[in-house]
Structures are given as structure tokens and as C-alpha cells.
Amino acid sequence: MTSPQWLTDDEQHAWRSFLLVHARLSSRMNRDLQRSAGLSLADYDVMVNLADAPEGKLRAFELGDALQWEQSRLSHHLARMHRRDLVRREHCPDDGRGAFVVLTDTGRERLVAAAPAHVASVRQLVFDGLDEGSLRALTTLCDDVLARLEDDAAERDVAPLATTART
């Protein structure tokens, strides 16, 4: 190995499997969705969030929060989806800065057509082979790592200030 204190063999195996399973799953689902419905996974996620919204529309920043996307990424993506007539922008009367994002009729049709096969595929590849315990283990594990990421990010933001405060 190249690095000083690398991972144990078991840890390395786990890490590689984790990265590989994500790469494989997302590339497989992207390809399937693309072929069957002409949508990317990202398109699909945007549309599901809009379809689930009360009026079928959301403020851009709400959509961004739900997807956990940066503003810029969302804006670029919506521009591309707009060109394909999947979503529409609507003026927001309450806030001159803001904009609503709305699913077009075409968009809704495409989503409805795409959903069953996609859900079936997630079911079959991931969850059908998972017992109750594994499901809980996976959730706990992911949420723990997410919590550690949050803590770490928070620490970075506060540390410089705290240091100056202490000196």
C-alpha cells in the first residue's frame, strides 16, 4: 500500500463495496430510466418532489432544500428541464426575488409513465433481498455517518471563531 496508516482489509473491502454498489446502482438506474422514459435520476427526483407538493409547485429554494442541491446546480438543471418542457417557472407574487417551479402536464405524464418500472427496480435490486435487521442496520449506519459529517462541518465553521475568542 501507498499510504502510511491505511484501512484494515475488512474496512477496505467495506469501503470499496460501498462505493461500487452506489456506482453500479445509480448507473444502472440512470440507464434504465433514460432508455425507458428519457429521464435521468436527477430529473426523476425533481419531478417527484414537485408532484408531491400541495399545488404541484414549489419555491426554488424549497426544492433545493428537499433535494439537498446547491442553488447553482438546481438552476442549471431546471434550465435544461425547461428546454425539454418538463417544468415551468412561475412568478412569485409575494417575493419579487423568488420563483415558483411547476411541473408541466407533459412532465407529469412522463413521471407517471416512468415511476412503476423505476420503483419496481429499486424494490427488486435492493429491498426485496433485505430482512428487517439489515434494513435497520443500513439506516442506522448511514444516519450515523451523516451525523458525523454534520458535526464535523459545524466544528469547522465554529473553530476559527472559538480559537480567536479563547486567545
Distance CA 12, CA 94 (A): 52
Residue 135 DSSP code: H
C-alpha cell belonging to residue 156: 469547522
Is residue 154 a contact residue for a copy of itself (CB under 8 A)? no
Q: Which amino acid is present at 140? A: T
Q: 9-24 burial, b if ≥16 CB within 10 A, otherwise e?
A: eeeeeeeeeeeeeeee
In contact, 136 and 66? CB cutoff 8 Å: no
In contact, 59 and 81? CB cutoff 8 Å: no
Contact region with DNA (CB under 7 A), list: 14-22, 39-47, 107-115, 143-151? 39-47
Size of the site for a copy of itself (CB under 8 A): 57
Please, which residue, 12 or 98, has the CB nearer to a copy of itself?
12
Q: Give the DSSP H/E element, type plus range, for residue 56.
A: none
Q: Which of 20, 21, 79, 126 binds DNA (CB under 7 A)?
A: 79
Q: Which of 79, 146, 154, 158 binds a copy of itself (CB under 8 A)?
A: 146
Is residue 48 a contact residue for a copy of itself (CB under 8 A)? yes
**By the criterion CB under 8 A, which residues form the site for a copy of itself?**
1-7, 10-11, 13-15, 17-25, 28, 48, 51-52, 68, 111-112, 115-116, 118-120, 122-127, 129-130, 134-146, 148-149, 152
**By the criterion CB under 7 A, which residues form the site for DNA?**
27, 30-31, 34, 40, 42-43, 59-61, 64, 69-80, 89, 92, 95-99
